[in-house]
Amino acid sequence: MNTQFTKTSRWIILLLLTGTFTMSCSKDERIESEPEIPAETDFVPYNKLQRVENFAVETDDKNPTETKSAAYFSLETKKETPANYAKTARWDMGFNGLYNSFISGNNGTEGNNLGYGGAGVGGIMIVEKPFNEVTDVPTDAEFNTKVGAIGTDGNGDFGQGTGWYLYDFGGSIIGDGSYDKMHVAYALSEPTALKNGKQLKARTLIVRTAKGNYAKVKMISCYKDAFTPDKWFRTTPHMFFTFEYVIVPKGSTKFEIK
């Protein structure tokens, strides 16, 4: 009887140990592969104009070229996304690069994207049209999924192609050449005249969100509480992004504001 009891006890202990090990592994694997994060709430409605004022990012005028922590914004919820959610589909516009002024979409399959490894399917592009004239949703193939996709315009200093803003290092590309107009970044959401006589067309960003919806974005300013060029000076607090946008659902072919 004692022998039988001993054998039975061993089997029970073995089963308990095996079950504990299995549950432990399953729990660890779940935590690693499926992080428990709060559910998203308060999504903005489709086809309604949204405005964001003074979205702040990290800057340092003493070390402007030093890499700063990227910032993340969700167009879907109209909120900043914490950095520890970078590898999720919880943000749509990533700000990094020089003065955190370069904007990317959220794409989990692009190796150098801020969201690489996550579930984001986003991208970004820019068109030389005023916000109100951008009516057609582009094809998915037109979106750029690389990090730091759109920033300084090639008509200004340190320019890189068609950008959403022009950097006037010496203050004489757009500015009047005065000291106060040096080192000013001009958002190009409206047609802009250069001192050399050239007229730049307005620029509008188009974003495919991390969830596959579409938004057009008007970048208005990167200065705190200053929304027009006459209020932008080298000493104006920056970088505080103000922009307007509208989201339309996946499958849409037109941007409409209703």
Q: What pLDDT, in 10s, does the model give residues 35-56?
A: 567 788 889 999 999 999 999 9
Distance from chain centroid for Cα 26: 34
Task: Specify the residue for token string 């068109």.
Answer: 127
Instruction: With H, G, I as helix, E, B as strand and everything else as coil, classify residue 9.
Output: helix
Q: What mean pLDDT do residues 151-158 have?
A: 97
- 235 vs 20: which has the higher pLDDT: 235
Q: Is the pLDDT of residue 15 over 50?
A: no
- pLDDT at position 24 is 38
| Nearest partner of 209 among 117, 136, 102, 137, judged by Cα | 137
Q: What mean pLDDT do residues 203-232 have?
A: 98
- pLDDT at position 93 is 98
Q: What is the DSSP letter of 61?
A: T
Count the Cβ atoms, other than its own, within 10 Å of residue 47: 14
How high is the mean pLDDT of the chain? Answer: 88
Q: What mean pLDDT do residues 241-254 have?
A: 98
Instruction: With H, G, I as helix, E, B as strand and everything else as coil, classify residue 254.
Output: strand
Q: What mean pLDDT do residues 125-149 have?
A: 96
Query: What CA–CA distance (Å, rounded) separates 136 from 209?
Result: 16
**Total length of the chain:** 258
Instruction: With H, G, I as helix, E, B as strand and everything else as coil, classify residue 229.
Output: helix
Query: What CA–CA distance (Å, rounded) separates 90 from 75?
Result: 9
For 164-204, write each residue's pLDDT tens digit: 999 999 999 999 999 999 999 999 999 999 999 999 999 99
Phi, psi torsion values for 140, nearest 5 degrees = -60, -30
β-bridge pairing 93-96 and 204-208: unpaired
